[in-house]
Amino acid sequence: MLRVVFMGTPDFSVPTLMEIVGQGHEVVAVYSQPPRPAGRGMEERKTPVHQAADQLGLPVFTPTSLKSEEEQEKFRALDADVAVVVAYGLLLPKAILDAPHEGCLNLHGSLLPRWRGAAPIQRAIMAGDAETGVQVMRMDEGLDTGDICMSETIPITEQMTAEDLHDKMMVLGADLMVRALGALSRGLLTSRPQAEEGVTYAKKIDKAESRIDFSMSAKEVHNIIRGLSPFPGAWVMMTIRGKEQRVKLLRSELADGAGVPGTLLDDAMTIACGEGAVRLAKLQRAGKGAMNADEFLRGADLTIGDVIT
């Protein structure tokens, strides 16, 4: 069994931590982002990984940076065999990368070198990719440039949202990482350099990208809606009962139809695009819960021919 430092922050990281503990490895410390104000009361809230570590009785460290000599010495003193990094969110300096005896392994949510960077799940769907995957990578100082140890491919179906893909990846990724640790503990973990061709970058989602432009093709609109669902959520403005309201679009389907982009074509929430049409299947008005198209229309006064922007 291995002495492991686990480094992660969001829900995505939790199954991997649980699997590592379940396999009997010794997690000597957990690193996570510091607690931050959240919710209506803006009370400080521990990250999902921090909460899980507390439940497991594991020591947790939440530095704002790992650049200081003090933090690096604290990390070295843990005498870890390996660090496992899953969506941690802090840059790891070379001193940290070099500290564990077997280095640092990262779980990444794409098939590298495609979609290096911050938002690989969303970008793969928004680009209309037919497949993606999870990979265990040996970390180096570059941005997701390390050698690949193990991979699993995941098909991206036409209706899959970022949430659907996230949930599939975090389970499959946890299994992949513990298999990698098992191989590492037996001295059998091998790696290969990433391909030099096909590099793309999954830049962080900009809020400006989330407003839908119906002059795009229906396929592009559909991919953006599902790629940004549920967060931050693609959105449009609709006039509902005489008032302009922001509405999130959480699920859609490609549909038949044509017209001026943004025009409501029928009573099933089919909207004309620059090419083709999309049916808005799940929507959410500000301050209300998500609802399907039928429920949404019962609470709105939209009529066929209205233009949505």
Find how far residue 258's CA is from the centre of its chain. 33
Residue 111 assigned to a binding site: yes
131-138/234-240 β-pairing: unpaired
Helix extents (H) in the chain: 14-22, 48-56, 69-76, 94-98, 120-126, 162-185, 218-227, 293-298
Task: Copy the structure tokens of residue 35.
Answer: 């607690």
Of 12, 221, 280, the residue nearest 121 (C-alpha): 12
Residues in contact with 250: Cβ distance below 8 Å, sequence separation at least 6, in sequence order = 161, 225, 229, 230, 233, 282, 283, 284, 290
Of all helices (H) and strands (E), which one includes residue 87?
none
Residue 189 assigned to a binding site: no
User: Sign (positive/negative) of CA torsion 256, 277, 246, 284?
Assistant: positive
Using CA atoms, how far apart are residues 238 and 243, in angstroms rounded to an integer?
Answer: 8
Residues in contact with 55: Cβ distance below 8 Å, sequence separation at least 6, in sequence order = none
Residue 112 assigned to a binding site: yes
CB 16 within 8 A of CB 107: yes
Q: Annotated binding site: which residue ranges? A: 110-113
Q: Annotated binding site for (6S)-5,6,7,8-tetrahydrofolate: which residue ranges? A: 110-113
